[in-house]
């Protein structure tokens, strides 16, 4: 089981003023705020920590259900330049983060769980209306799942449970977890 989250760096700079009074306090622990003030590129650290928290939240809600907004309580520890840990409510998640020129992208999985047969893709998202954007991403997921498993494309469906958590279903009782993220011109997903 995985969760993933992406931030379009340019769009984040336009949409969010993280220097706004109170903003960091609502999202980050003091320890995390220290990472930000110590960072050579503080804005990258802000969004890196944010994607770590969001990707961990996505697994947590898949595992335990519910919906809530408690970013500060997902506590991040940075281990190396690319890896980290996120702890929430006695559960912990390991993360991998990629900082590219235009986006920051994190994948989380429950801590201690070995790498499984993860299907993962990160791609450019053209300017589209909300509905078409979703179709574009779903097509990518279906194509990718088809190429890995050989399942017929028209049999692959993407469904959401009542909390909006997405799964892949191929017409049987099996629900394959898929985590989907998009922001601005970038989108990504992880399957399994």
- Binding footprint of another protein on the chain (CB under 8 A): 12, 15-16, 20-23, 26-27, 50, 54, 67-73, 130, 164, 183
- Choose between 155 and 160: whose C-beta lies nearer to another protein: 160
Q: C-beta of 169: minimal distance to another protein in Å?
A: 21
- Choose between 126 and 164: whose C-beta lies nearer to another protein: 164
- Choose between 133 and 192: whose C-beta lies nearer to another protein: 133
- Choose between 91 and 149: whose C-beta lies nearer to another protein: 91
Sheet hosting strand 119-124, strand order edge to edge: 119-124, 186-191, 175-183, 166-169, 157-160
Angstrom distance (rounded) from CA 148 to CA 118: 10
Q: C-beta of 116: minimal distance to another protein in Å?
A: 27
Q: For 26, what's the count of Cα atoms within 13 Å in the CB-facing half-sphere?
A: 7
3-state secondary structure of 148: helix
Q: How far apart are the first and last CA of the chain?
A: 5
Q: C-beta of 96: minimal distance to another protein in Å?
A: 21
Give 17: exposed, middle or buried? Use CB within 10 Å, 0-12, 13-18, 19+.
exposed
């Amino acid at each position: 089981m995985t969760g993933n989250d992406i931030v379009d760096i340019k769009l984040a700079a336009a949409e969010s003023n993280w220097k706004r009074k109170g903003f960091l306090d609502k999202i980050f622990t003091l320890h995390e705020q220290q990472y930000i003030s110590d960072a050579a590129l503080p804005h990258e650290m802000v969004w890196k920590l944010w994607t770590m928290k969001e990707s961990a939240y996505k697994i947590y809600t898949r595992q335990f259900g519910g919906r809530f907004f408690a970013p500060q309580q997902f506590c991040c520890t940075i281990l190396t330049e690319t890896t980290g840990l996120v702890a929430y409510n006695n559960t912990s998640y390991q993360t991998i983060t990629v900082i590219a020129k235009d986006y920051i992208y994190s994948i989380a999985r429950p801590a201690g769980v070995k790498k499984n047969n993860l299907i993962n893709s990160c791609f450019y998202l053209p300017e589209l209306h909300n509905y078409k954007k979703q179709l574009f991403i779903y097509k990518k997921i279906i194509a990718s799942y088809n190429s890995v498993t050989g399942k017929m494309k028209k049999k692959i469906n993407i469904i959401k449970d009542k909390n909006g958590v997405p799964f892949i279903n191929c017409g049987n009782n099996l629900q394959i977890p898929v985590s989907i993220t998009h922001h601005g011109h970038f989108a990504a997903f992880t399957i399994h």
